[in-house]
Structure 1
Amino acid sequence: MKKTAISMHRAIRFFVLFVLLSGFSVQAQNADKAKKLLDDVSAKIKSYKNVTIDFKYSLSNSKKNLNQESKGNVALEGNKYLLNFMGVTRLCDGKKVYNIVPEDEEITISNYDPNDEEGLTPDRIFTFFKTGYKYSWDITQTVSGRKIQYVKLIPTDTKSGVKDILIGIDYQTKHIYNLIQVDKDGTKATFTINSFKTNQPLSKNHFTFNESKYPNYYINRLD
Structure 2
Amino acid sequence: MRTRSFWIFFVVILRSFFIVILTLLANKVFAQVDEKALEILEKTSAYYQGLENFRATYDLVIKYPEEDITQSSKLTIIVRGHQYRLSYDQKETITDGETIWVYDKEMKEVTISDYDKTNYSLNFADLYNLYQYGYLFFYVQEHVLNKRKNIIRDVVQLIPSSEDSAFKSITLEIDRASFQIHKWEIVQNEEIKYVCTINSFAANIPLSDDYFKFDIHVCKDLEIIDLRENEEDISSPILDES
Q: TM-score with structure 1 length normalisation? A: 0.85
Residue 7 in 1 paired to residue 12 in 2?
no
Greater share of strand residues, 1 or 2? 1
User: Do 2:133 and 2:160's aligned partners in 1 also have CA atoms closer than 8 Å?
Assistant: no
Name 1:63's counterpart in structure 2. Answer: 66
Name 2:137's counterpart in structure 1. Answer: 135
- Aligned-pair distance for 1:161? 6.8
Deviates more, 1:33-42 or 1:91-100: 33-42
Name 1:92's counterpart in structure 2. Answer: 95
Q: Provide the rounded CA distance (Å) in 1 between the counterparts of 2:210 and 2:165.
A: 40
- Encode CA deviations 1:76-109: one digit per residue, 9 max, x unaligned: 1111111001221000012100000011111111
Name 1:78's counterpart in structure 2. Answer: 81
Unaligned residue ranges in structure 2 (runs of 5+): 229-242
Alignment of 1:115-194 (within 5 A): 116-117=121-122, 125-129=127-131, 131=133, 133-144=135-146, 146-158=151-163, 160=165, 162-194=167-199
Residue 40 in 1 paired to residue 37 in 2?
no
Letter in 1 for 2:202: K
Unaligned residue ranges in structure 1 (runs of 5+): none
Q: Residues 46, 124 of structure 1: CA spacing in aligned structure 2 closer, same or farther, 3 A cutoff?
A: farther
* Structure number with higher relative contact order (C-alpha < 8 Å, ≥ 6 residues apart): 1
- Aligned-pair distance for 1:32? 2.2
SS of residue paired to 1:48:
coil
User: Do 1:15 and 1:191's aligned partners in 2 also have CA atoms closer than 8 Å?
Assistant: no
Letter in 2 for 1:189: Y
Q: Residues 93, 19 of structure 1: CA spacing in aligned structure 2 closer, same or farther, 3 A cutoff?
A: closer
Q: Provide the rounded CA distance (Å) in 2 between the counterparts of 1:93 and 1:161.
A: 25
Structure showing greater radius of gyration is 2
SS of residue paired to 2:221:
coil
Residue 49 in 1 paired to residue 52 in 2?
yes
Q: Provide the rounded CA distance (Å) in 2 between the counterparts of 1:124 and 1:200.
A: 30
SS of residue paired to 1:52:
strand
Aligned residues: CA RMSD:
2.4
